Amino acid sequence: MKIKILLYEPHPKAMRLKLFIPYEMTHLRAKIKAINGSYWHHNQKLWSVTNTKTNWEFLKKLIGENLEIVPFKTTKKMIKTPIEQKEYEEVLALEKVLVIKRYSPSTIRSYKNFLGVFLSAFSDKKTVDITAEDIEKYIHDLVLNYGISSSYQNMLINSIKAYYEHVLNRERTFYRIIRPKKEIALPNVLSREEVQRIITFPKNLKHRAILTLIYSAGLRISEAINMRVEDIHSDDGYIFVKAAKGKKDRKTILAASLLPLLRDYYRSCKPSYWLFEGQTGGQYSVVSIRAVFRRAVAGTNSNAWATVHTLRHSFATHCIENNINMRHVQVMLGHNSSKTTEIYTRTVEINNKKITSPLDTFNN
């Protein structure tokens, strides 16, 4: 039986082609590794290259008869039914409660959307008559027939839970609905060299300052756009993060090497209140920061799967590699539990340049 290289037919809009290369095929793996933009996905044990017609043809010619193309499997597309006036009023009732409870705008928006999807599926039934069994059957159907993700499933359950608890004042036991098994996925992390290339790529001073600040302090993208000029405490060497995730204030490190860049940016752009302002004033947008980051990733041929949040993951991992106390890392990231921070101990790069095997201590 011939050993095959599996090429997974991508989604029509996918940016990458993924391949499974058997361990024995070292010569072919080396050639695919040499393709510009190739990447090894450790968790999936797959290689990928940029999804272009040129790469398609190159792979078919390179691999030849050893290539097996795995067809792309489509899942049924969920049909969104417009909600009626009754359901719309229930969605507004949830929104009112969440606003009073000071949930973030993005969370409120998500909960409203998911509750609307849920209520439209039970439009023929009074909401108060929907049982926990009805809800579990509905979610089971979504998982089985539409292949919804674990995060989609959890967010749907959270929105239902919020509605029944905060609007209908039901007991907690009512919505004790089965949740998906928690995935323990490792955060995506960039190497130090990749980070340096990405944050120094932008020619625009503001863009370079934003990316450098996010990495150097381990910030979320929302924390960067909410940063005020007064939050940079250069004399005391820290950055104040106001009302971050969970409405928590915290302090994080102000890198000494970041200060000259921030001062150059301040002298050039003269922000008045927000540290990073848009062209017409007000806060800089999340969309703009993501666009800046994507251009930097593409321009430096870095990990194509990286996002702005990957800079935060990389900051945490590099801190641990630098032997910074875990408690300090936890405080800088704003984690409630040390268990959340400990995930980064699993992303530390392991090789024989950093760690000595006990075998190397034996006397020859």
Catalytic residue positions, numbered: 220, 245, 309, 312, 335, 344
What distance in Å separates the CA atoms of residue 137 and residue 145, rounded to the nearest whole number?
A: 12
For 224, which DSSP code? H
Residue with tokens 């959307």: 113
Q: Could you tell me the two tokens for 21? A: 């290369």
Backbone angles phi, psi at 74, to 5 degrees: -95, 145
Q: Could you tell me the two tokens for 214? A: 């996010």
- Using CB atoms within 10 Å of the CB of residue 13, give its burial: 0 to 12 exposed, 13 to 18 middle, 19+ buried: exposed
Contact 37, 304 (CB under 8 A): yes
Q: What is the 3-state secondary structure (H, E, C) of 27-38?
A: HHHHHHHCCCCC
What distance in Å separates the CA atoms of residue 56 and residue 62, rounded to the nearest whole number?
A: 10
Backbone angles phi, psi at 34, to 5 degrees: -80, -10
Strands in 232-233's sheet, in edge-to-edge order, are 232-233, 238-241, 250-253
Sign of the CA dihedral with 212 first, then 239, 223, and 43 last: positive
H helix or E strand, kind and range, residue 251? strand 250-253
Single-letter amino acid, residue 181: K
What distance in Å separates the CA atoms of residue 346 and residue 274, rounded to the nearest whole number?
A: 36
CA 180-183-185 angle, 5° bins: 160
What distance in Å separates the CA atoms of residue 129 and residue 132, rounded to the nearest whole number?
A: 10
- Using CB atoms within 10 Å of the CB of residue 240, give its burial: 0 to 12 exposed, 13 to 18 middle, 19+ buried: middle
Sign of the CA dihedral with 298 first, then 301, 306, and 310 last: negative
Q: Could you tell me the two tokens for 109? A: 């928006």
